[in-house]
């Protein structure tokens, strides 16, 4: 395998909104996420998954921590209980810090580097962050995307997803709006699956080249 064909393992980190407004689609979020994972499992290639949910009572509840995709347990409806408000900046800021620590640990253990994909799924604007503000999160995201070649994806409902994604440093080609309804939620996870499949099928060099085009052509 030449350098050009090299495929690093992928680490998919999902920042999932569980604020109260997600309650009407909670079953669809759980079903859609589990279906997304099940479909990803059928594909070739190494991947790990980190899943964090956030709300005003807990801005960073870790449900899966770098779990091998093949071993990833289903998200349960018992674990996903929408409540409270939306500390989006805190959740994203803490996720970046957590991935940084994981990257450093892998390097120290001489493990191969992973290609990082961070997916933010939300239906509301930040209204509860205490630790991070928008400018700090923007700088973090922008630096990891530009300098370290991470891919950040922003899937926003009930908002101008492109404006809000841009406010936290996510490229327009990695952003998509979705409709906060059962069908809209399923469609959003379908598109995320297609985009992730395309990403994982590429060599690492191509992933870097396309790091701002993750959701491109995946519809609205």
The percent of the chain in helix, strand and coil, each rounded to the nearest 5, is 45, 20, 35
Q: What burial class does residue 105 get, using C-beta atoms within 10 Å of its C-beta: 0-12 exposed, 13-18 middle, 19+ buried?
A: exposed
The helix (run of H) or strand (run of E) holding residue 108 is: helix 88-108
CA distance 142 to 145: 5
Give phi and psi for 89, each to the nearest 5: -65, -40
Structure tokens at 99: 């991935």
- pTM comes to 0.97
Structure tokens at 30: 């759980």
Cα angle, residue 192 at apex, residues 190 and 198 outer, rounded to 5°: 105
The string of pLDDT tens digits covering residues 128-174 is 999 999 999 999 999 999 999 999 999 999 999 999 999 999 999 99
pLDDT at 35: 98
The string of pLDDT tens digits covering residues 169-204 is 999 999 999 999 999 999 999 999 999 999 999 999
CA distance 196 to 210: 12
Q: Helix (H, G, I), strand (E, B), or coil: what is residue 75?
A: coil
- The DSSP string of 126-186 is ----SS--HHHHHHHHHHHHHHS--EEEEEEESS-HHHHHHHTT--GGGEEEE-SSHHHHH
pLDDT at 70: 97
Q: Counting runs of H as helices and runs of E as strands, what totals does the chain give?
A: 6, 6
Q: Is the pLDDT of residue 118 over 50?
A: yes
* CA distance between the termini of the chain: 37
pLDDT at 217: 60
Question: Residue 111 in contact with residue 80, Cβ under 8 Å?
Answer: no
The string of pLDDT tens digits covering residues 59-80 is 999 999 999 999 999 999 999 9
Question: Residue 87 in contact with residue 124, Cβ under 8 Å?
Answer: no
**Topology of the domain covering 3-209:** Rossmann fold (3.40.50)
Question: Residue 59 in contact with residue 17, Cβ under 8 Å?
Answer: no
Q: Is the pLDDT of residue 220 over 50?
A: no
CA distance 120 to 195: 14
């Amino acid at each position: 395998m030449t350098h050009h064909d090299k495929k690093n393992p992928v680490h998919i980190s999902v920042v999932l909104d569980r604020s109260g407004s997600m309650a009407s689609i909670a079953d669809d979020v759980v079903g859609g996420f589990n279906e997304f994972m099940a479909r990803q499992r059928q594909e070739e290639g190494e991947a790990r998954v980190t899943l964090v949910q956030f709300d005003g009572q807990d801005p960073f509840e870790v449900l899966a921590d770098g779990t091998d995709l093949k071993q990833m347990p289903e998200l349960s409806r018992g674990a996903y209980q929408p409540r409270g408000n939306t500390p989006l900046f805190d959740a994203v800021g803490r996720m970046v810090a957590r991935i940084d620590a994981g990257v450093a640990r892998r390097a120290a253990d001489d493990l191969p580097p992973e290609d990082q994909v961070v997916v933010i799924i939300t239906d509301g604007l930040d209204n509860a962050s205490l630790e991070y503000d928008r400018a700090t999160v923007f700088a973090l995201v922008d630096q990891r995307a530009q300098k370290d070649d991470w891919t950040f994806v922003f899937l926003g409902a009930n908002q101008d997803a492109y404006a809000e994604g841009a406010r936290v440093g996510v490229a327009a080609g990695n952003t998509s709006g979705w409709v906060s309804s059962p069908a809209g939620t399923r469609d959003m996870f379908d598109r995320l699956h297609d985009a992730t499949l395309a990403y994982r099928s590429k060599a690492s060099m191509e992933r870097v080249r396309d790091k701002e085009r993750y959701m491109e052509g995946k519809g609205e």
